A = this chain, B = another copy of it.
């Protein structure tokens, strides 16, 4: 139940993040719709194509697809105000969607019977996939490459979720919430205090 609610929440915030990015690109409403929907369902779509047991989730059950579409329409109608949006809106929405989707991805991997390593990978794919597609289509450098402590947050959250479930035998729901809180906490802290790990940098020109 609660996971169902979080799923809808994650879908909606990612859809809005797609709409907000589209707002910088002079697109018409249906183009905005496409970018918002792709952002919302993209990560889970890649996950299901990789796991490959049957059609992807929104073909089996179009709930998330409808949530994404309705969210886009509402967002297009509501947000259309000319005043400046604060800079932190898109990263924070992205962080919420990221945290929720990493947790959902890990759970779906467990449900498919994969081991812990693959489960963490599925969490990361589900979390970052939609945002990567959004940014590649809009020709932004993907957040996962340009933003510090982004991959880090979802890898640590996914490992915490998996460990809590496999090693400490928390219930699936408790383990999910723990992982999501950790992912979200790391990302919000990184956005608020501009945390960064030491970057890996080479001077050589390729």
Contacts and interface: CB of A to CB of B under 8 A. Distances in A.
Interface of A: 19-35, 45, 48-56, 58-59, 62, 65-66, 76, 79-80, 82-87, 89-90, 114-115, 117-118, 121, 124, 128, 132, 136-139, 141-142, 144-146, 148-152, 155, 196-206
11 contacts: A20-B204, A27-B145, A28-B197, A29-B200, A31-B144, A31-B151, A62-B115, A79-B202, A82-B203, A85-B206, A86-B204
A161 B202 CA distance: 37
Contact of A52 (B29, B54, B205): B54
B65 A121 contact: yes
Given A45-B50, A49-B52, A152 B206 contact: no
Copies of this polypeptide in the complex: 3
Given A51-B59, A136-B137, A141-B139, A124 B29 contact: no
Nearest to A109: B59
A146 B26 CA distance: 8
Chain B CB within 10 Å, residue with most, of A80, A87, A204:
A204
A206 B50 contact: no
B56 A204 contact: no
Nearest to A121: B65
Given A51-B55, A55-B52, A62-B118, A34 B144 contact: yes
